[in-house]
A and B are shown apart, each in its own frame.
Chain A
Amino acid sequence: MSLLENMSPMKLCVPGERLCSTEDCIPGTGTYLRHGYIFASLAGYVLRKNEGEELPVISVVRETEAQLLPDVGAIVTCKVTSINPRFAKVHILYVGSTPLKDRFRGTIRREDVRATEKDKVETYKSFRPGDIVLAKVISLGDVQSNYLLTTAENELGVVVAHSEAGTQMVPISWCEMQCPRTHAKEFRKVARVQPEYLQA
């Protein structure tokens, strides 16, 4: 990996380990300052980077590549795992266009599926298990709960869905998709295709 070439061999550390003093380095991510010394707050690898200022930046990372975490307001691509009359559970696969290494869990509540007529929403007519959905993060949630997502916009919703016969369906309106083989229509909350992705 390219990161290893311009650095000394990686050292492992645990939370609470004293790394160095403030005179040697500037604290980065995964560290904190106490009594003039820099301590690690994560368990992982210690990275020392020369930023071009006087002191190098010391940080602790879990993996050598930085993980992009979903933030409030980010557009994420997720896959529906289970549905319930009150909400749909999803696995977040991509943040923007970056794939995630771990699958984070998200929830799309019934009232966050659409912007209008929120109480008439039926989860079974909006999503099905296995659909790929574009959603936006509205909250990071607590320790135990998942990310809260919403599809209450025209550009958010189901992007790829398979019919009961097994073939990929074609969207025909904002609330229906059709299977090209059996010609059966199914209800979904369909995302509007961005004009730049449409072929004339």
Chain B
Amino acid sequence: MDTVHARFKDKIGEVLLPGDVFSLSVPEGGDCIIKREKIICGPGLRRNGEEVQVCKSGILRHKQANLYWIDSQQRRYIPTKGESVIGIVTAKSGDIYKVDVGGSEQASLSYLAFEGATKRNRPNVQVGDLVYGQFTIANKDMEPELVCIDSCGRANGMGVFGADGLLFKVSLGLVRRLLAPQSEIVKDLEKIFPLETVVGLNGRVWVKAKTVQQTLIVANLLETCENMTSQQRQTLFKKVAEGSF
């Protein structure tokens, strides 16, 4: 019995290119019966009538029970609703701040979208400040909108930050690995020295350690550990931990 999952199974873990198709139709004259199953197509896969097409180049991944997606490396960020990002305030105009989030357009952030902000009590935001916020509107037809407040009205860690420290840019894949629940990179980093980090899904990371030298070391480590296997990374981190003191 041939199933739809079997067609995907041989390709899990393989590199696929845009244009590759998985045909879901029954072959003519065959004895095999295709069971009707539900498959969820994640990012990078798109249904086109009777077939599933690959839209992005990357590795096919699978998660129980029926979720398939393409894991792709990308450095360019596309704003998506609900994602938390680090932005840089570039301009103040009337009621809104213009924030650069690394996308094609600057996002707008209303001055009322901060905790405890009212028309009389304006938040203390200057041009050049770093803000951590979430997108409420983010699509290809409109200008994206950020808020530093959640649906209950609390800041929840969002808002202006970054008095000291260093902001740098990494690829989106590394950022997702850093934000995963049991991230090994974060655990290894914590062992070296204590530090504060803010990770934005637009590829921007802000770190702050006790001294400037430590901050720079951490920034360099994060930028280089992107293409390393976990073995290489752990040996590197160990060398740094021993050599720094």
Contact = CB atoms under 8 A, between A and B. Distances in A.
A85 interface: yes
Interface in A123-173: 123-124, 128-129, 165
Interface residues of B, number: 9
Interface string B45-81: 0111100000000000000000000000000000000
Contact of A124 (B47, B49, B137): B137
Interface string B164-194: 0000000000000000000000000000000
B141 interface: yes
A83 B141 contact: yes
B145 A124 contact: no
A128 B139 CA distance: 11
A84 interface: yes
Residue picked from B49, B141, B145, most chain A C-beta under 10 Å: B141
B163 interface: no
Contact of A129 (B47, B48, B49, B141): B141
Contact of B142 (A85, A165, A184): A85
A128 B141 CA distance: 7
Interface in A79-94: 82-85
A179 to B, nearest CB: 10
A111 to B, nearest CB: 18
Contacts of A165: 46, 48
Interface of A: 82-85, 123-124, 128-129, 165, 181-184
Interface of B: 46-49, 137, 139, 141-142, 145
